[in-house]
Amino acid sequence: MAQVSIGSLDDFAEGELTRVEADGTALCVVRVGDRVHAICDDCPHAEASLSDGDFLSDDMAVECPLHGSSFNVETGEPDCPPATEAVQVYPVTVEGGDVLVDV
Amino acid sequence: MGIALIAGAGMAGRACALTLRRIGWDGEIVLVGDESTHPYDRPPLSKSVIVGTADMDKVVKPAPETYAQDRIDLRLGTRVEAVDAAARTATLSDGTALAWDALVLATGCAPRRLPIPGLERAHRITRMDEALALQALLAEGPRRLAIIGGGFIGMEAATAAVAHGHSATVLEAAPEPMSRPLGREVAAHVLRWAEARGVDIRAGVAVEAVTDAGVVLAGGEVVPADIVVAAVGQAPRLELAEALGCAITDGGVRVDAGLRTSVDGVWAVGDIAAFPSRWADEERIRVEHAAVAIGHGQVAAEQIALGEGLFEDLPTFWSDQGDLTLNVVGVPRPDDEIVWRGDTQTPACTAFYVRDGRMRAALSVGDMKTLRGVRKLFAAGVEPPPAMLADPAADLAALAAGG
Ligand SMILES: Cc1cc2nc3c(=O)[nH]c(=O)nc-3n(C[C@H](O)[C@H](O)[C@H](O)COP(=O)(O)OP(=O)(O)OC[C@H]3O[C@@H](n4cnc5c(N)ncnc54)[C@H](O)[C@@H]3O)c2cc1C
Ligand code: FES
């Protein structure tokens, strides 16, 4: 694992999904308060970019724009079909306003 | 413990085998499939696989080494030929004889054979090897496709092909394609959207023959084509179930909510299973869709490992037609009344299927918020009146939460 900086906390608007390339891995990133979550951007079900979907703040989940499975940003688990597998979750730390992802 | 034999390594069989291990069952698992490819997701075949855009690692999954790691004895290219319910034995096509304690029938459907001269020269796309053969031809350059059959698979293949620079004519015998699964009104919208994307749909035509020149229709007209695809429907493969003496209902293997057949120690899952569903007034239904197949496989595994588990999921399915995605929840019937929400002139709307004044299913296109709300309504058992469903201002998720 390599820790990669993907920008500063201010680059990410609250609850908005952003696609970020970190060390060759496409991530779907979302800021919630002072925390930032990163999951793999590629939906495990079919061909969709999760950052094109919606962030459901009540469920802390990212909803796939294609078939609507939503993935919890902390566990990666989908809530309903058609996805059955969890999406990869990447640990994020915020240090002095700098957002660092382990990829 | 003992031996679990799973006949058919498709979506339901695969789910059953993997779930058995995931929940800690320690018996022997033998997963037998007559295809040569490792188990894969079938839906992409008619969508991304034929046009070469699929990420194959996500289609053929889990990774092949998983089976050895999970101590799943996967026998590919092998068919379960014969089964004996009294002796609890099975014979495979390679001559192997096996004993089993639990038998899971997961044999899926076989394509319908129609007595059309020359149909054997048409491509089929219900198996990986077939879809890859079509992919190789489409990769050579723009082609004229004639697709016999305007169901989901035919329409998906047609829309995927036109999105990738090919031309596609869909030939459908029924006067109103897709009206059986979706009802006339919704089907008409789906077809119109596909036509707007360049698919040529010819409904109510009778195919007489397939020749080198293309497809010959009744009356002699030839629809010229470089490639002919047959997507003419399928029927459950019931040979093993019949040989075992399992009760058959409405063209499927009769099971209870635990996917148990009428024969002790035998389960039936996926496309072949006729199961009771509370989403269909407790009637038995047979569903040929992926999420149900996976759920069935999981429940059969729980039954074998723990002696409990019922399939009670809300049936759902999707169909990608080029850039148009249909998401369906519930069990729609062709004669349901349709209530629309959103602008039906655009593919960003939802059709509610209403029966006896109650919402029974919804088909949503490009409207994830409504889809999410509908799922919550079903989960909460809340049934807003149709007028409210039609009102774009009504917040369905809030109604589900009692608001
Ligand atoms: C082209 C296509 C597109 C689809 N698209 C969608 C979609 O978009 N959305 C959706 O929800 N559903 C879709 N489906 C339906 C979905 O794929 C099926 O419902 C699901 O695969 C059913 O799972 P199953 O395990 O019952 O059968 P299958 O996945 O068909 O698997 C059955 C397997 O058993 C094998 N077999 C049969 N008999 C024997 C035997 N005696 N011995 C050994 N092996 C045997 C068969 O060769 C096959 O490999 C699609 C299906 C097809 C064909
Ligand atoms: S592609 Fe994401 S749920 Fe299907």
Domain boundaries in chain B?
3-110+234-306, 119-230, 336-400
User: Mind listing the pLDDT tens digit for each residue in B52-85?
Assistant: 999 999 999 999 999 999 999 999 999 999 999 9
B107 C-beta closer than 6 A to ligand 1: yes
- Count the neighbouring beta carbons within 10 Å of the beta carbon of residue B264: 8
Residue B345 tokens, joined: 């002139």
Integer Cα distance of B280 and B258 in angstroms: 16
Integer Cα distance of B334 and B187 in angstroms: 10
Is the pLDDT at B345 greater than 90? The verdict is no
A28 C-beta closer than 6 A to ligand 2: no
Q: Which atom of ligand 1 is nearest to the CA of B287?
A: 19
Give the model's pLDDT for residue B403. Answer: 65
Is the Cβ of A76 closer than 8 Å to some Cβ of chain B? Answer: no
Type of residue numbered B117:
P
| Exposure string over B97-108, b if 16+ CB within 10 A, otherwise e | ebebebbbbbbb
- Identify the sign of the CA torsion B364, B368, B369, B371: positive
ipTM of the complex: 0.93
User: Phi, psi (5° rounding) for residue B402?
Assistant: 90, 15
The 8-class DSSP code of residue B123 comes to B
Q: Which atom of ligand 1 is nearest to the CA of B234?
A: 53
Which residue on chain A is closest to B57 by alpha carbon? Answer: A44
User: Mind listing the pLDDT tens digit for each residue in A20-71?
Assistant: 999 999 999 999 999 999 999 999 999 999 999 999 999 999 999 999 999 9
CA distance B28 to chain A (A): 24
The answer to whether domain B3-110+234-306 and domain B119-230 are alike in fold is yes
Q: Measured between beta carbons, which residues in chain B are less than 8 angstroms from residue A82? A: 290-291, 316-318
Q: Which domain holds residue A40?
A: 3-102
CA distance readout (Å), B50 to B44, B128, B152: 8, 9, 15
Q: Which atom of ligand 1 is nearest to the CA of B269?
A: 26
User: Mind listing the pLDDT tens digit for each residue in B159-174?
Assistant: 999 999 999 999 999 9
Residue B356 tokens, joined: 């006896």
Q: How remote is the CA of residue A45 from the centroid of ligand 2, in Å? A: 5
Is the pLDDT at B93 greater than 80? The verdict is yes
Q: Give the closest residue (by CA) to ligand 2 atom 3.
A: A67
A87 C-beta closer than 6 A to ligand 2: no
CATH superfamily of B336-400: FAD/NAD-linked reductase, C-terminal dimerisation domain (3.30.390.30)
- Would you call B368 and A68 a contact, using CB atoms and an 8 Å cutoff? yes
Q: Measured between beta carbons, which residues in chain B are less than 8 angstroms from residue A46? A: 43-44, 47-48, 58, 320
Query: B170 pairs with which residues across the strands?
Result: B147, B201
What DSSP assignment string belongs to B288-340? --HHHHHHHHHHHHHHHHHS-----PPPEEEEEETTEEEEEEE---TTSEEEE
3-state secondary structure B159-180: HHHHHCCCEEEEEECCCCCCHH
Q: Give me the architecture of the B3-110+234-306 domain, per CATH.
A: 3-Layer(bba) Sandwich (3.50)
User: Mind listing the pLDDT tens digit for each residue in B97-137?
Assistant: 999 999 999 999 999 989 999 999 999 999 999 999 999 99
CATH number of the structural domain spanning residue A34: 2.102.10.10
Size of interface A-B (CB pairs under 8 A): 49
Question: Do the Cβ atoms of B122 and B230 come closer than 8 Å?
Answer: yes
CA distance A14 to chain B (A): 20
Q: How remote is the CA of residue A28 from the centroid of ligand 1, in Å? A: 32
- Relative orientation angle of helices B152-163 and B184-196, to the nearest 10 degrees: 20
A1 falls in which pLDDT band (50, 70, 90)?
low
Give the model's pLDDT for residue B348. Answer: 86
B289 C-beta closer than 6 A to ligand 1: yes
Mutate to test the interface with A, among B18, B46, B368, B377 (most CBs of A within 10 A): B368
Is the Cβ of B54 closer than 8 Å to some Cβ of chain A? Answer: yes
Q: Give the closest residue (by CA) to ligand 1 atom 49.
A: B10
Type of residue numbered B80:
V
User: Which of B341, B371, B358, B387 has the alpha carbon at shortest distance from B186?
Assistant: B341
- Would you call A66 and B55 a contact, using CB atoms and an 8 Å cutoff? no
A65 C-beta closer than 6 A to ligand 2: no
Please state, for a pLDDT cut of 90, what percent of chain B lies above it: 96
Q: Is B7 exposed, middle or buried (0-12, 13-18, 19+ CB in 10 A)?
A: buried
CA distance readout (Å), B140 to B133, B146, B156, B166, B322: 12, 17, 20, 11, 20
User: Mind listing the pLDDT tens digit for each residue in B195-227?
Assistant: 999 999 999 999 999 999 999 999 999 999 999
Count of structural domains within chain A: 1
A45 C-beta closer than 6 A to ligand 2: yes
3-state secondary structure A66-93: CCCCEEECCCCCECCCCCCCCCCEECEE
Is the Cβ of A26 closer than 8 Å to some Cβ of chain B? Answer: no
E strands within B188-260? 200-203, 207-211, 214-217, 222-224, 227-230, 234-236, 248-249, 252-254
Specify the CATH number of the domain B119-230.
3.50.50.60
Integer Cα distance of B10 and B6 in angstroms: 10
- Count the neighbouring beta carbons within 10 Å of the beta carbon of residue B197: 16
CA distance A66 to chain B (A): 7
